[in-house]
Structure 1
């Protein structure tokens, strides 16, 4: 029998950008703080490790890149992690010690074929310390495409747990109706939506997803200021004239009928804590189940290619 309650924690903060150790230290300290408040599932924002480089151009213009911009990107690359790797083992030790599920947004370094590609990924760690899976963002948004490659259908990850099935999509992937449907079709109950979008329209998105998927939606954003940016970056001048607050946050928890369980948090760092009544998921699907009794497979069908897409196949 599934557990009927789950205490979740949503971390809204930012590390020192491009500083892997800063992110690791914050992951440990804020996980300990959240676990001390009874959290069983702790969620960190999109690319919390090593931070979301909002406002930075990396010296890129259409048709040209600068030497200094390449050096900044190399510094970002140096702050990325492998999955699995030394950092995920540290996360595992922390999760096992605290007895919690950890879900962390990271910049992942490809280690299968090329060491030159990064991915915007979400890593899942279980309370036994095991690496449960990962998800790679399918389509980086706008200028993000210069930094991160595209994920494939093999990491549309949903994980079975004692309290239900957890999974999610990253930021504007959540605007992809077919990607959402692929998650619903895996029976998702706790839908994670880490993001870098602090606009009011994002709140409409997460409330719609909760109501559409009849699931809890955990949305997690960074609260970031200029103080979290190293001033010795070549492209620091890109944000020099920007407002001090670069991301105002907006993390929130939404129930399976689209109502806020925890209202959005703005203009400050913090941890949102809530105990979820999981029976509401079943109750909410009484009159709407997007991939069940409210679907029409005789009219609409979705084909998902969930195989790993390798550029080289070895026999």
Structure 2
């Protein structure tokens, strides 16, 4: 069995807010990554829809009644990915044809709430979703919290692929749940991979004895404004006034990296748009187990126990009258 595969991180600029055009852009970039021979391809956090940079770079928009924030939230609700979204079919077709796995961040709508979601597209299989469990402080103005039903991995012909989003890599129990799944390749999605984020990704690789694709994006204010215009932003005056206040220049600064199971960076990008690639020998994932096996001999199940609730939580449970009567009778 050949244990070697090729991995690619697409470190590019999204089209914020303009999800239709953003998906078209992702299709072209995925094709370019496939041409490098990649078996697994990773994009950064919220690539489809764009990360809400106005909450990250400006203090005022974090107020719930800020008019610009309200308009941008409405725009995201209108454009967000929903359920079996037909707009993703073209990207799925590329994945099916090439036989690759593609992990891409996006803004998803479930009922009336938005989620920071990773979409793992797999050949001729349903898309595997992961909704970020705990949005960061400013993100809570936009995103809901995911549940355990999306803590799953993909079994590819060559190995197992999982994914988490940004600050989830500092959640010990989330890491433990993913390590228990036995990932060979882990997609670690970020807006920009800063020094502290790279530390988290390297720690994850060593702790879980897996290859890690720490995927970031590049983005300037001008590119964000371009996406806003493509999404029909002329109808949202307060949103335009808010975005005009963002700092000029770079908002996301790349820094993507591919990390081996021993925690060593084998390839790293700068702050420019590029496709970062590396050849991975998946047999290396077993080498680190001699020193560290946190899901095996280092687990101490007699002392520690982790229970993962993988049920989907909607917050509403409907019980009809007959079922309620039967429950009371029992």
User: Which string of whole-angstrom CA distances, capped at 9 and with x for unpartnered residues, describes residues 240-259 of structure 1?
Assistant: 36140111111100000000
Q: Does 2:45 correspond to 1:40?
A: no
State the partner residue of 1:288: 292
Distance 2:123 2:289 in 1: 29
Among 243, 259, 265, which residue is 2:264 paired with? 259
State the partner residue of 2:107: 107
3-state SS of 1:288 partner: coil
Q: Residues 289 and 295 of structure 1 are in contact (CA less than 8 Å); yes or no, is this contact kept in structure 2?
A: yes
Question: Any unmatched runs of 5+ in structure 2?
Answer: 320-330
Q: Does 2:178 correspond to 1:183?
A: yes
Question: Residue 67 and residue 132 in structure 1: after superposition, are their counterparts in 2 closer, same or farther (change >3 A)?
Answer: closer
Q: Residues 62 and 141 of structure 2 are in contact (CA less than 8 Å); yes or no, is this contact kept in structure 1?
A: no
User: Which string of whole-angstrom CA distances, capped at 9 and with x for unpartnered residues, describes residues 248-283 of structure 1?
Assistant: 1111000000001112x1221111111100010012
Q: Residues 14 and 51 of structure 1 are in contact (CA less than 8 Å); yes or no, is this contact kept in structure 2?
A: no
- Normalized against structure 2, the TM-score is what? 0.87
Q: Does 2:213 correspond to 1:218?
A: yes
Q: Does 2:121 correspond to 1:122?
A: no
Query: 1:217 Cα shift?
Result: 0.6
State the partner residue of 1:145: 140
Distance 1:153 1:83 in 2: 18
Count the aligned residue pairs. 307
1:15-164 → structure 2 map (5 Å cutoff) = 15-56=14-55, 60-62=61-63, 64-110=64-110, 115-128=111-124, 130-164=125-159
State the partner residue of 2:188: 193
User: Which string of whole-angstrom CA distances, capped at 9 and with x for unpartnered residues, describes residues 273-311 of structure 1?
Assistant: 111000100122122111111211111111111111122
State the partner residue of 2:203: 208
Q: Residues 59 and 68 of structure 1 are in contact (CA less than 8 Å); yes or no, is this contact kept in structure 2?
A: no
Larger-gyration structure (1/2): 2
Greater shift, 174-183 or 77-86, is seen at: 77-86
Distance 2:220 2:62 in 1: 25
3-state SS of 2:102 partner: strand
Question: Residue 280 and residue 198 in structure 1: after superposition, are their counterparts in 2 closer, same or farther (change >3 A)?
Answer: closer
Distance 1:100 1:262 in 2: 20
Query: 1:170 Cα shift?
Result: 0.3
Richer in helix (by share):
2
Question: Residue 144 and residue 260 in structure 1: after superposition, are their counterparts in 2 closer, same or farther (change >3 A)?
Answer: same
RMSD across aligned positions (CA): 1.9
Q: Residues 116 and 132 of structure 2 are in contact (CA less than 8 Å); yes or no, is this contact kept in structure 1?
A: yes
3-state SS of 1:27 partner: helix
Distance 1:239 1:258 in 2: 40
State the partner residue of 1:168: 163
Q: Residues 14 and 49 of structure 2 are in contact (CA less than 8 Å); yes or no, is this contact kept in structure 1?
A: yes
Distance 1:190 1:239 in 2: 39
